[in-house]
């Protein structure tokens, strides 16, 4: 019988329930992190140059992620002792101690999330899942082995989604340094004629600024 192909979960899906062994003990995802955001990121393999630079970069921003109520969880198809030895190598040779857990996957997690790199054996792709406090997948990034991730972009994306949720606004390109509206946020477009007229009226009253009724923005308070 042909094995059913499994792909990556989609945006808005619930993060699949799983019990995983990590360098910090067993974790039940997403249940153990209910009420907190988390970023699960996979890397191809331990003791590889690009992955080492990524882990150092994540660790150097770990406090910034925690300030946004977000945990970090690494993952690759490596045994836990390999993760531990790699952590020790990073500390001894680079002077950075990795504090977040790393999943020691047997391949089951990677298969469930659709992360096995085509034609690269058991190597996992550089995927990033940003999951909210309700266990819903909000953002997915997907990178090839050859390109390391930009952690500042992950911080920006996380912060932007949290602001979008709490303020009911959208974030422009390159926020908070957009070429058109600077650090302003975008007000969702009006959904009917009356709302469109009201939108322009409020713009005249300086409640926010508009290029037109469908493109209004304001300073985030």
Q: What are the backbone angles phi and psi of residue 118, rounded to the nearest 5°?
A: -55, 130
- Pairwise CA distance, residues 52 & 91, whole Å: 11
Active-site pick, 51, 70, 210, 216: 51
- Is there a contact between 198 and 190 (Cβ–Cβ < 8 Å)? yes
Tokens (6 digits) for 100? 């977040």
- Is there a contact between 42 and 127 (Cβ–Cβ < 8 Å)? yes
Q: Which residues lie below 8 Å from residue 144, measured CB to CB, with a gap of 6+? A: 125, 126
Helix (H) or strand (E) holding 204: helix 193-204
Let me know if 51 is a catalytic residue.
yes
The beta strand positions in the chain, using DSSP E, are: 18-22, 25-29, 37-42, 70-76, 102-104, 126-131, 137-143, 185-187, 209-212, 215-218
Helix (H) or strand (E) holding 157: helix 151-167
Helix (H) or strand (E) holding 88: helix 80-94
Residue with tokens 């590889």: 48
Question: What residues act catalytically?
Answer: 51
């Amino acid at each position: 019988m042909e094995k059913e192909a499994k792909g990556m979960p989609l945006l808005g899906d619930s993060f699949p329930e799983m019990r995983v062994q990590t360098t910090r003990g067993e974790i039940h995802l997403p249940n153990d992190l209910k009420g907190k955001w988390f970023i699960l990121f996979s890397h191809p393999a331990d003791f590889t140059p690009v992955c080492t630079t990524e882990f150092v970069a994540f660790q150097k921003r770990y406090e910034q992620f925690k300030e946004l109520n977000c945990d970090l969880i690494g993952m690759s198809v490596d045994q836990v002792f390999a993760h531990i030895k790699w952590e020790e190598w990073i500390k001894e040779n680079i002077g950075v101690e990795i504090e977040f857990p790393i999943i020691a996957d047997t391949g089951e997690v990677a298969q469930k999330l659709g992360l096995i790199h085509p034609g690269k054996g058991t190597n996992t792709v550089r995927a990033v899942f940003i999951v909210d406090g309700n266990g819903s997948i909000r953002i997915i990034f997907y990178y090839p082995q050859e390109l390391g991730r930009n952690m500042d972009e992950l911080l920006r994306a996380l912060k932007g989604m949290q602001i979008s949720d709490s303020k009911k606004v959208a974030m422009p390109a390159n926020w908070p340094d957009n070429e058109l509206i600077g650090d302003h946020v975008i007000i969702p477009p009006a959904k009917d004629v009356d709302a469109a007229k009201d939108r322009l009226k409020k713009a005249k009253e300086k409640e926010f600024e508009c290029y037109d009724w469908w493109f209004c923005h304001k300073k985030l308070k």
